[in-house]
Structure 1
Amino acid sequence: MLRGRTRRGPGAGSSGGPAGEGPAGPPAEDPLDAAQESRVRAVLALGGVPHADLPDGVQQVRLRLLERAASGREAPRDVSAWAAVVASNLAMDWHRARRRQERVGERLASLRQWEHAPGDDSRELSLAVAHGLDELPAAQRQVLVLRFYADLTVRAIAAELGVPEGTVKSRLHTAVRALRTRLHEDEVV
């Protein structure tokens, strides 16, 4: 789903190609710094995008930021928050196109930064959280990831998604309650 939309032909953007690869001149400055890229990768992974598709998702966020600048629109006030929301929307698009169970293992692999020993409690918790996230409706999963992983405020999430703060709070409350119930049912916590 993410593949095929990340590259554009000559004339796209100010450098003649995607994110600094254009033959028309010197490479354009990368619109995402390392911390923002890492956050985008994490939001994509938490949203269900498989590890193999994360680079494409990051490129898609870069492309959208470059297209926004090329169209003459004002730069986002908070590029990091904007990029996290775009990444979250990309993840929702991917998630709708795939069956949920096919990617649980891939998401866990992309989130895991260290090896867990077999039987380790954190592995069981990670699996239970991943299953719990899979069971949430897309809108609830989105605000949960943006609030607790991307560390956006309720106000920032509401502004970026174009919904009232009360809607964000309601979705968060419902999502946290559902995830907590799932973890208790699985006797993980």
Structure 2
Amino acid sequence: MLLRGRARRSRETTAGTGTGDDPLNAADPLDAAQERRVRAVLALGGVPQADLPDGVQQVRLRLLERAASGREAPRDVSAWAAVVASNLAMDWHRAKRRQERLGERLAALRQPAAHPSGEDSSVLSVAVAQGLDELPDAQRQVVVLRFYADLPVRSIAEQLGVPEGTVKSRLHTAVRALRARLHEDEVV
């Protein structure tokens, strides 16, 4: 409801001014708290700090596209935005893996060069961040949404379109794997 209202108000206010094509006149679909949550989900999903503004803009764009298409607004925009951010983080990881594989192939063809780490590890301890990176996408997604975006299991299940039991199972398996990883690395 809120989403349609904002989009409608935006069209009404820009229709009379002749600036309907100016995206700067559109109302921001994310409030400050939602934007912080989106940034946190992206960062915890492994997206580098330099790419966070682009990720937030992608979430805004998808929300505006949803409004423009006439689809009903999500019941909980904040939860929906967190899930979209989590999906974007998974997309980023997939692209990163593809680039790494390509990089490995190219490295075999030329002299190896030193690559400085561009990832900011200040959000989580290195061990937990590495553990999250090693989890399968579906498990990492529910861990980030549950423990870092602080979404309830029911909301995660609704947003992902899976049963609550599936979310609980993924959480259990992921936490067990992270715990084993931390014990293996003697972090805990």
TM class by smaller structure: 0.7 to 0.9
Residue 115 of structure 1 corresponds to none
Q: Unmatched 5+ residue regions in structure 1?
A: 1-12, 113-125
Work out whether residues 40 and 84 of structure 1, in 8 Å CA contact, stay in contact via their aligned partners in 2: yes
TM-score (norm 2): 0.77
The verdict on how the C-alpha distance between 1:158 and 1:49 changes in structure 2, with shifts beyond 3 A counting, is same
Question: How much identity, in percent, do the aligned residues show?
Answer: 80
Q: How does 1:148-159 map to 2 (within 5 A)?
A: 148-159=147-158
Matches of 1:133 and 1:158, distance apart in 2: 20
Matches of 2:144 and 2:116, distance apart in 1: 17
The verdict on how the C-alpha distance between 1:148 and 1:25 changes in structure 2, with shifts beyond 3 A counting, is closer
The verdict on how the C-alpha distance between 1:103 and 1:143 changes in structure 2, with shifts beyond 3 A counting, is farther
Q: How does 1:1-189 map to 2 (within 5 A)?
A: 24=22, 27-99=25-97, 106-109=119-122, 111=123, 126-189=125-188
Q: CA deviation at 1:22?
A: 6.9
Q: Which amino acid aligns with 1:63?
A: L
Matches of 1:139 and 1:63, distance apart in 2: 24
Q: CA deviation at 1:25?
A: 7.8
The verdict on how the C-alpha distance between 1:31 and 1:187 changes in structure 2, with shifts beyond 3 A counting, is same
The verdict on how the C-alpha distance between 1:70 and 1:140 changes in structure 2, with shifts beyond 3 A counting, is same
Matches of 1:152 and 1:158, distance apart in 2: 10
Matches of 2:23 and 2:118, distance apart in 1: 42
Residue 118 of structure 1 corresponds to none
**Where is the helix percentage greater, Structure 1 or Structure 2?**
2
Q: Which amino acid aligns with 1:46?
A: L
SS at match of 1:99: helix
Matches of 2:39 and 2:132, distance apart in 1: 17
Matches of 1:108 and 1:161, distance apart in 2: 28
Work out whether residues 129 and 179 of structure 1, in 8 Å CA contact, stay in contact via their aligned partners in 2: yes
Matches of 1:142 and 1:70, distance apart in 2: 27
* Residues 1-47 of structure 1, C-alpha deviations (whole Å, 9 max, x = no match): xxxxxxxxxxxx9599xxxx975487111100011001101101111
Larger Rg over CA atoms:
2
Matches of 1:164 and 1:41, distance apart in 2: 27
Aligned residues: CA RMSD: 2.6
Q: Which runs of 4+ in 1 moved over 3 A?
A: 13-16, 21-26, 99-105
Q: CA deviation at 1:99?
A: 3.3
Work out whether residues 46 and 107 of structure 1, in 8 Å CA contact, stay in contact via their aligned partners in 2: no
How many residue pairs match? The answer is 159
Q: Which has the higher relative contact order, 1 or 2, with Cα contacts under 8 A spaced 6 or more apart?
A: 2
The verdict on how the C-alpha distance between 1:26 and 1:167 changes in structure 2, with shifts beyond 3 A counting, is closer
Residue 109 of structure 2 corresponds to none
Matches of 1:26 and 1:66, distance apart in 2: 12
